[in-house]
């Protein structure tokens, strides 16, 4: 048998489900978004099926299936708990030319149920022709992760643009280019535009000639790569990486994320680590503006979260000043994730009701020569919550000494944690009195997160 994936309008059509159990409910739930008029016949129904039927105005017939039940039906689903009954329903429907699906017996039916992805007017059906429903379900999950959260609203908006474009853009090629750009922009940013912004974008395609349209700037997405392994990036962040025309990335990311870009994507490394800068910040800002003006989607991929000591706001402000559209996608930050990998929560009831994140960098991006002129250790020492130091590993000795000098108890628990891009986490525990010596003896590598507080002693 060879199954062709027709998309058929079943809104308002009559359909019958024979069965009142879990499988019948599953089939019913798949069909509900498509506006079909369903009848369900079975001697007994599960409570969930009864509830669903009541909420969705579905006709229930509480008895065993009878041959006359298929009269006038556009399709039938044989989903009872008895395989013999299902097979008999399948044979009866085929004799009368009625489409029938027989659960767990594709040869007894005339159509099969795909694994479905549904978001507004978007319908995606996946089928292995019954060879492996598990594969279809797995692919469905992967595809669903690529769809923007507001897909239903986006499609409704894009649908409304078709008539607007036809009324204002006479040239067919230019009209097609406008609709394509709007579709990609809405997908890239998971958003729609108000009437004013829509008309401004439309105006660029209403003028004579193509050169005006060719000069339209692209957009930038600031994306947090997460902390460490590539599977810690957000679903939305991964979607952006896969759609990027240009990827500008930092040092502290899992390079496995680069494999998710398209073959045509231009990849530009601008890493900064331990004082070794491949590019200064103002140069990175200028690069982002330049690449955005060339058109397409620029993804600025930053380790952890762009707004947690990642200078993401500086880049966003530079782009906005240049008139470039820019959006932000958060990432999992190391100040929470790295301690968690080592079994240390930054807060815990009865132990720490707050946590504070401190950096070893100044506002200009250079390491402090004198930490006493940087963080206010007197204030930090008075805090009752957890202290988390990022980018301060080179100053571990000074940090410990300054906290003790400012009044923190020398017995305060401290952990130094290095989390790599594999499954390993290196951790050294001690106190303010001995953590610097212990970290040196253990040869802990940078980058490392320093955690100061009683939460360190919760688990070891």
Tens digit of pLDDT for each residue in 20-34? Answer: 999 999 999 999 999
Q: Of 30, 37, 118, 272, which one is the catalytic site residue?
A: 272
The CA distance from 350 to 353, in Å, is: 7
- Nearest CA-CA partner of 114 in 91, 94, 131, 97: 131
Q: Residue 271 pLDDT more than 90? A: no
Q: Output 405-412 pairs: Cβ under 8 A, ≥24 positions apart.
A: 405/377, 406/377, 406/378, 406/380, 406/381, 407/378, 407/381, 407/382, 408/380, 408/381, 408/432, 408/452, 412/452, 412/453, 412/454
The DSSP-derived string for 161-200 is HHHHHHHH---HHHHHHHHHHHHHHHHHHT----HHHHHH
Q: Answer whether 403's CB lies under 8 Å from 377's CB.
A: yes
Confidence bin at 361 (pLDDT 50/70/90)? low
Q: What is the pLDDT of residue 291?
A: 94
Q: What is the pLDDT of residue 252?
A: 82
The CA distance from 157 to 122, in Å, is: 13
Identify whether 150 is a catalytic site residue. Answer: no
Q: What is the pLDDT of residue 273?
A: 62
Confidence bin at 363 (pLDDT 50/70/90)? very low
Taking only the tens place, the pLDDT of each residue in 405-447 is 999 999 999 999 997 655 578 999 999 999 999 999 999 888 8
Tokens standing for 48? 């969930």
Q: What is the pLDDT of residue 200?
A: 86
Q: What is the dihedral of CA 118, 123, 129, 130, to 10 degrees?
A: 10
Taking only the tens place, the pLDDT of each residue in 169-227 is 988 888 998 998 899 888 877 889 999 989 988 987 886 544 444 456 688 999 999 88
What lies within 8 Å, CB to CB, of 348 at 6+ separation is 455, 458
Q: What is the pLDDT of residue 189?
A: 77
If you average pLDDT over every residue of the chain, what do you get?
A: 89
3-state secondary structure of 267: strand
Angstrom distances, CA of residue 48 to CA of 42, 60, 83, 377, 443: 14, 13, 23, 59, 58
Q: Which is more confidently placed, 257 or 189? A: 257
If 0-12 CB within 10 Å is exposed, 13-18 middle and 19+ buried, where does residue 124 land?
A: middle
Percentage of residues of the chain with pLDDT beyond 70: 92
Q: Which is more confidently placed, 424 or 106? A: 106
Identify whether 250 is a catalytic site residue. Answer: yes
What letters, b where the CB count within 10 A reaches 16 and e where it falls short, cover 268-279?
bebebeeeeeeb
The sheet carrying 14-18 orders its strands as 59-62, 37-42, 14-18, 75-78, 99-102
Helices (H), 4-46: 22-31
Average of per-residue pLDDT across 246-252? 91
The CA distance from 233 to 238, in Å, is: 7
The CA distance from 347 to 89, in Å, is: 60
Confidence bin at 276 (pLDDT 50/70/90)? low
The CA distance from 218 to 294, in Å, is: 7
Q: Of 69, 188, 250, 305, which one is the catalytic site residue?
A: 250
Q: Answer whether 425's CB lies under 8 Å from 417's CB.
A: yes
Q: What is the pLDDT of residue 120?
A: 87
């Amino acid at each position: 048998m060879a199954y062709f994936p027709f998309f058929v309008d079943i809104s308002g059509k009559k359909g019958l489900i024979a069965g009142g159990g879990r499988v019948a409910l599953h089939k019913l739930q798949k069909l509900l978004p498509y506006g079909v008029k369903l009848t369900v016949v079975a001697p007994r129904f599960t409570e969930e099926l009864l509830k669903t039927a009541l909420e969705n105005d579905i006709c229930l017939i509480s008895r065993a299936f009878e041959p006359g039940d298929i009269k006038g039906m556009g399709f039938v689903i044989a989903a009872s708990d008895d395989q013999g009954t299902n097979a008999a329903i399948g044979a009866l429907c085929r004799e009368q030319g009625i489409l029938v699906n027989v659960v767990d017996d594709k040869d007894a039916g005339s159509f099969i149920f795909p694994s479905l992805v549904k978001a507004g007017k978007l319908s995606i059906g996946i089928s292995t022709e019954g060879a492996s429903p598990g594969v279809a379900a797995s692919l469905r999950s992967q595809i669903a992760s690529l769809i923007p959260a507001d897909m239903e609203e986006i499609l409704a908006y894009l649908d409304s643009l078709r008539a607007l474009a036809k009324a204002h853009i006479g040239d067919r090629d230019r009209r097609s280019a406008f609709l394509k750009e709007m579709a990609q922009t809405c997908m890239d940013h998971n958003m729609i535009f108000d009437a004013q912004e829509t008309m401004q974008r439309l105006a660029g395609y209403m003028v004579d000639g193509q050169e005006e349209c060719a000069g339209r700037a692209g957009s930038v997405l600031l994306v947090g790569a997460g902390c460490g392994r590539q599977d810690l990036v957000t679903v939305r962040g991964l979607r952006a990486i896969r759609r990027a025309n240009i990827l500008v990335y930092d040092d502290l990311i899992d390079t496995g994320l680069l494999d998710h870009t398209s073959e045509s994507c231009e990849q530009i490394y601008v890493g900064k680590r331990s004082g070794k800068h491949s590019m200064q910040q103002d140069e990175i800002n200028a690069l982002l503006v330049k690449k955005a003006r060339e058109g397409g989607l620029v993804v600025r991929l930053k380790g952890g979260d762009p707004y947690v000591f990642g200078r993401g706001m500086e880049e966003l402000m530079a782009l906005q000043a240049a008139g470039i559209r820019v959006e932000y996608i958060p990432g999992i930050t190391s100040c929470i994730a790295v301690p968690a990998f080592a079994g240390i929560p930054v807060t815990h009831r009865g132990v720490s009701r707050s946590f504070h994140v401190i950096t070893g960098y100044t506002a200009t991006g250079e390491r402090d020569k004198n930490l006493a002129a940087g963080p206010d250790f007197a204030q930090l020492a008075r805090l009752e919550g957890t202290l988390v130091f990022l980018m301060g590993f080179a100053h571990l000795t000074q940090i410990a000494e300054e906290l003790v000098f400012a009044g923190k108890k020398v017995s305060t628990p401290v952990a130094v944690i290095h989390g790599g891009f594999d499954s390993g986490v290196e951790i050294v525990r001690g106190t303010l009195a001995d953590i610097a010596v212990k970290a040196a003896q253990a040869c802990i590598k940078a980058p490392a997160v320093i955690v100061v507080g009683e939460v360190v002693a919760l688990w070891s």
